[in-house]
Amino acid sequence: MLRSRGTTELGAASLEVTKMRRRHLRGVMAIERQAYARPWTPNLFVAEMSEPNNRNYLVARIDKDVVGYAGLICYGDEAHITNIAVEPMLQGHGIAHRLLAEEIDAARAMGATAVSLEVRVTNWRAQRVYARFGFHPVGIRRNYYAELHEDALIMWTDDIRERAFRQRVISIVQRLPEGIRPQAGRQ
C-alpha cells in the first residue's frame, strides 16, 4: 500500500484515472472512512456504479494503490458531484484537481451545462479548489453534515460548455505536476 511507504512525495510515480470497479472498493473505503464521519457503504458505491447512463465514478491510482476517487450524477443538463476524496497523506498534489477536471468532462459528455456540489463550510481547502474551477457559493444546507453539526456550502458553476470555462479547466490541468496531469494526447 502506498501509505505504508511512509512518504508524502509522489516522486516519479504517475497518476492513472480510471472508472471505479468493485476491485477498487477496498482502497476507496479506506479513504472514505478517513474523509467522512458518516462514510458510504461498499453497497452504496456498487449501486451507484451500476447506473452508468447517468453516473460516473472514477478512481485515481498510483501503481495499483487507490489514492483518490470522485463521483458524479447527471440528470438532464444538471450534474452533481456526489463525492471527491484523496488519501490524506497525498492531498495538495493536484489529485483532486485531476479528478474534478475529469468529472466535469464526463458531465459535459452526458449533456450537462451546470455542475453543483456541497462542501463543509469549514473546508476552506476544498472550497479554494472548487473556486479555481469557477464554482461559486449559491446557498447553505443547514446541518447537512449532521454528525459533525456542520452546514454545507452549496457551490455551482453553470457554464461548463462555454469556451472560457473549458479553457480554464485546460489551464488548471496543464499546471498540474507532470505525474498528475494526463499523458499526452489525453484531456
CATH number for the domain harbouring residue 57: 3.40.630.30
Q: Which domain holds residue 121?
A: 13-174
Mean pLDDT to the nearest integer, 44-48: 97
Within a domain: 187: no
Within a domain: 4: no
Within a domain: 181: no
Q: Of the listed 130, 147, 150, 178, which one is catalytic?
A: 130
147 is catalytic: no
User: Starting at the edge strand that comes first in sequence, how are the strands of the sheet with 114-120 ordered?
Assistant: 15-19, 55-62, 65-75, 78-86, 114-120, 150-157, 136-145
Which residues does 82 contact at the CB level (< 8 Å), separation at least 6?
48, 71, 72, 73
Within a domain: 8: no
Within a domain: 92: yes
Within a domain: 7: no
CB atoms inside a 10 Å sphere around CB 12:
7
Task: Read off the pLDDT of residues 55-112 as tens digits, 9 standing for 90 and up.
Answer: 999 999 999 999 999 999 999 999 999 999 999 999 999 999 999 999 999 999 999 9
**Would you state the pLDDT for residue 64?**
92
Residue with cell 469549514: 122
Task: Read off the pLDDT of residues 118-142 as tens digits, 9 standing for 90 and up.
Answer: 999 999 999 999 999 999 999 999 9
**What is the pTM assigned to this prediction?**
0.91
What is the chain's alpha carbon radius of gyration, rounded to the nearest angstrom? Answer: 16
**Would you state the pLDDT for residue 142?**
96
Q: Of the listed 118, 144, 150, 162, which one is catalytic?
A: 118
Asked whether the predicted pLDDT for residue 5 surpasses 80, the reply is no
Nearest C-alpha neighbor of 172 from the set 135, 141, 137, 145: 135
102 is catalytic: no
Within a domain: 2: no
Provide the number of structural domains found in the chain: 1
Within a domain: 180: no
Asked whether the predicted pLDDT for residue 8 surpasses 50, the reply is no
